[in-house]
Amino acid sequence: MTNAIEVHELHKAFGDVRALGGASLTVPAGSVYGLVGPNGSGKTTLLSIVRGVVRPTSGEALVFGRPPLDDPAVKGRIAFASGNPYFLKPESADGMARFYRSVLPSFDVDRYLELAPLFEVDRTRPLRKLSRGARAKAALLLALSCTADLLLLDEAMDLVDPIARKRMWSVVLDQVSSRRLTVVAATHNLRELEGVCDHLAILDRGVVRDEADLNEPVSDIVKVQVMLPEGAELPTGLEVVHARPEGRLLTLLVHGNAGGVREELDTVHPTYLDIVPLSLEERFVCELGGDDHEA
């Protein structure tokens, strides 16, 4: 698989503030890559370097094999949407669409008109008079109307209500599968990415702590839902990492493989037993060493 982004040992200092301290990551082409980190961890800075609008202090960022800085051809393959978007002052979404059409060869007016109803944005009112959520939706609509190969989302949906967010993600994922768009979505809230990303990285104080390919099963951790007969106890040999009771149903994260865990639990004759996939948060905690159930 070719890579859409390769970032090696990226450092960026703003005066004496260290925004990035040697961040490295690899985003495979056609993937949906979640970049999770707390406020100030360097997400915006990293995306700005990848977009080619900020020069790193040292290190390298390659987009489709080329450094994006000062390269209009590479920049033309990148679309960007942020939760705090910048628009030309008096413009409406239609006005911004006209502007982008005049400066960006990749801007597709037909796609803009086709997608606009799904985003439910008032296309004719000045964007500065819309709510912050509506402005974020407009930014994403405009970004998705570019026939870019890489879409960078900087907390782009954090202010959007859950129903609209689901609809917008389905438009994004449609483009991922229909034309192999690559997406990098940065957020401080892991829950924003549940069910959408196939790769996940944690950015911590300017360093990528770890990257996980979510297509790969988690080695050595099994999630199991089990109901025990009245009075029965879990087998003592079971290495439980985390247990959550809901009534009589126990959801467990257990060390081991599915076959071994099932065999062990069968010894206490459960009335219900199912091996289920781990949620994104559980993978974050087990695989990437997250401290809590939120980044």
Closest residue by Cα to residue 56 from 10, 22, 93: 10
The DSSP line for 160-205 is S-HHHHHHHHHHHHHHHHHH--EEEEEES-GGGGTTT-SEEEEEET
CB of 24 to ligand ATP, least distance (A): 16
Q: What is each CA distance from 34 to 25, 156, 200, 234, 263, in whole angstroms?
A: 11, 12, 5, 36, 35
The residues, ordered by sequence, that sit 6+ positions from 66 with a Cβ below 8 Å of its Cβ are 73, 74
Residue 155 Cβ, how far from ligand ATP at the closest point, in Å? 6
Mapped onto helix, strand or coil, the DSSP state of residue 1 is coil
**Interaction between residue 193 and ligand ATP (CB under 6 A):** no
Q: Cβ 133 to ligand ATP, closest distance in Å?
A: 17
Q: Which of residues 162-191 bind ligand ATP (CB under 6 A)?
A: 188
Exposed/middle/buried for residue 36 (C-beta within 10 Å: 0-12, 13-18, 19+)? buried
The residue range among 32-40, 140-148, 159-167, 168-176 that interacts with ligand ATP, by the rule CB under 6 A, is 32-40
CA nearest neighbour of 59 among 130, 7, 135: 7
When the beta carbons of 16 and 246 are compared against ligand ATP, the nearer one is 16
- Residue number, 39 or 236, with CB nearest to ligand ATP: 39
CB 190, CB 269: distance < 8 Å: no
- Residue with smaller CB distance to ligand ATP, 11 or 188: 188
Which of these ranges, 11-19, 145-153, 171-179, 189-197, lies near ligand ATP under the rule CB under 6 A? 11-19
Alpha-carbon separation of residue 88 from 54, 100, 104, 205, 206 (angstroms): 21, 11, 15, 33, 31
The count of residues interacting with ligand ATP (CB under 6 A) is: 12
Please, what is the minimum distance in Å from the beta carbon of residue 190 to ligand ATP?
13
Q: How far apart are CA 224 and CA 244, in angstroms?
A: 11
- CA distances 182 to 12, 16, 199, 289, Å, are 24, 34, 11, 26
Q: Is 19 in the site for ligand ATP (CB under 6 A)?
A: yes
Please, what is the minimum distance in Å from the beta carbon of residue 290 to ligand ATP?
Answer: 16
Shortest Å, Cβ 44 to ligand ATP: 3
Site string for ligand ATP, 33-72 (x = CB under 6 A): ----x-xxxxxxx---------------------------
* Closest separation in Å from C-beta 284 to ligand ATP: 17
Comparison of 173 and 207: residue with beta carbon closer to ligand ATP: 207
- Decide whether 130 or 295 has the Cβ nearer to ligand ATP: 295
From the centroid of its chain, how far is CA 151? 11
- Note whether 25 binds ligand ATP by CB under 6 A: no
Amino acid occupying residue 269: H
Binding site for ligand ATP (CB under 6 A): 14, 17, 19, 37, 39-45, 188
